[in-house]
A and B are shown apart, each in its own frame.
Chain A
Amino acid sequence: MGEINLDSMSNEYFDVLRELGNIGAGNATTALAQMIQCKIDMSVPQVQLLEFKELGEAMGGEEVVMAGIYLAIDGDIKGSIMFLLEKKAAKHLVAKLMGMESESEDLSEMELSALQEVGNIITGAYLNSLSSITNLTIYPSVPDLTVDMAGAILSVPAIEFAALGDRMLMIQTQFFDEMVLDGYFVLIPDLDSYSKMLSALGISM
């Protein structure tokens, strides 16, 4: 099995990863719509291979406050996955879910816990579709949630990518209900898992 180098990835691999991202985000959107029981549309996800310097810009600024849900994955595919949502969008989603709007700027314990559940369901749906397409097992860990600056949250997956190369693969999805909710998925498989995913889909190395 050949080794994948993210810095010199061919268009073919990139297209496959884009398609995986597309399907994963589609499933996640469906799960989200069922959870808050309203129709949610989704834009075609943008898959970007970004240099570390460009990460902040791509998310609308390093200092934008976001909610990040992060979990480790094990099984045939190892690594981690992160889902990010702007704080405003996160508050909106949680208000929908709990059927009430909160007054405060900050997220209460209750809202944080609801948000963690939202993240759990979204990443779960994403990973499920990835697992069933590739026929590979994926076991997610308990998710962890933090609300902080985009740059600081993204430093965690960026550092994992940094051990492998100089760019990071990010999938941006826009959800719409009454408002636009920008969501970002970052899937961080280790190098072996990239090869496994691609060969499971019949792409030869």
Chain B
Amino acid sequence: MGVEIKVGMADLNVCVSPDRICTLGLGSCVGIAVRDPVTKIGGLAHIMLPDSTTIRNNSNIPKFADTGIEELVKQVTRRGASRARLVAKIAGGAQMFGFSSNSEMVRVGERNVQATKKKLAQMRIPILAEDTGKNFGRTVIFYPETGDFVIRAVGKQEYKI
């Protein structure tokens, strides 16, 4: 079955089949899984903010969608994945609270998803599936063997995309 690699908040890691890689309790953050279907080498990033260029203190690379995705791709290709064959699945970016004040921060989930899609499009990595937005937290587990992205949420049946 392999082992389970855990990715924390503002963190990323590489994972090779038969291992699996997960991140627990994604809220407004976005989980980005990439995979080379031939070598079955993949990886997962857990980003918190859309854009490193708008923040002064931006040395924490996995914290941002733009720099985090770049670093994830760098690490999986270094491990042996083909850059040209990479495909992605994404999840998260929920709006956990509904109130309307402080609206920029409330909408951060949506902005994280937009920034993630923009960066992946720029890097010509197709998004095969997504489960984003809405108002609930998600635990995600990615299997580089099959490309399955399993999602667990409170009060819901586990499902995969």
Contacts and interface: CB of A to CB of B under 8 A. Distances in A.
A200 interface: no
B63 interface: yes
A74 B99 CA distance: 14
Given A144-B98, A146-B96, A148-B154, A159 B25 contact: no
Nearest to A164: B57
B106 to A, nearest CB: 8
A160 B8 CA distance: 17
Interface stretch (B36-44, B79-87, B119-127, B135-143): B135-143
Interface in B57-111: 57, 60, 63, 94, 96-99, 101-102, 105, 108
B9 to A, nearest CB: 4
A149 B49 contact: no
Contacts of A153: 27, 96, 137
B24 A151 contact: yes
Contacts of A62: 24-25, 139
B48 A162 contact: yes
Contacts of B102: 72, 80, 141
A151 B155 contact: no
A97 B71 CA distance: 50
B137 A152 contact: yes
A154 interface: yes
Interface string A49-69: 000111110000111010010
A40 B63 CA distance: 40
A137 B60 CA distance: 34
B21 interface: no
Contacts of A54: 8
Given A151-B24, A151-B25, A152-B96, A163 B49 contact: yes
A75 interface: no
A150 B8 CA distance: 13
Measured as residues with beta carbon below 8 angstroms from the partner, the interface class of chain B is: 20 to 34
Contact of B55 (A65, A155, A163): A163
Contacts, number: 117
Contacts of A146: 96-97, 135
Interface residues of A, number: 39
Nearest to B28: A155
A127 to B, nearest CB: 15
B10 interface: yes
Contact of B24 (A56, A74, A160, A164): A56
A152 B156 CA distance: 15
Contacts of A148: 27, 96, 136-137, 154
Contacts of A158: 9, 48
B11 interface: yes
24 contacts: A56-B24, A56-B25, A62-B24, A63-B25, A63-B139, A70-B97, A146-B135, A147-B154, A148-B96, A148-B136, A148-B137, A149-B154, A151-B25, A152-B25, A153-B137, A154-B27, A155-B48, A155-B96, A159-B29, A160-B105, A163-B49, A165-B57, A166-B10, A166-B60
Interface of B: 8-11, 24-29, 48-49, 55, 57, 60, 63, 94, 96-99, 101-102, 105, 108, 135-139, 152, 154-155
Interface of A: 7, 52-56, 61-63, 65, 68, 70-72, 74, 80, 106, 141-142, 144, 146-156, 158-160, 162-166
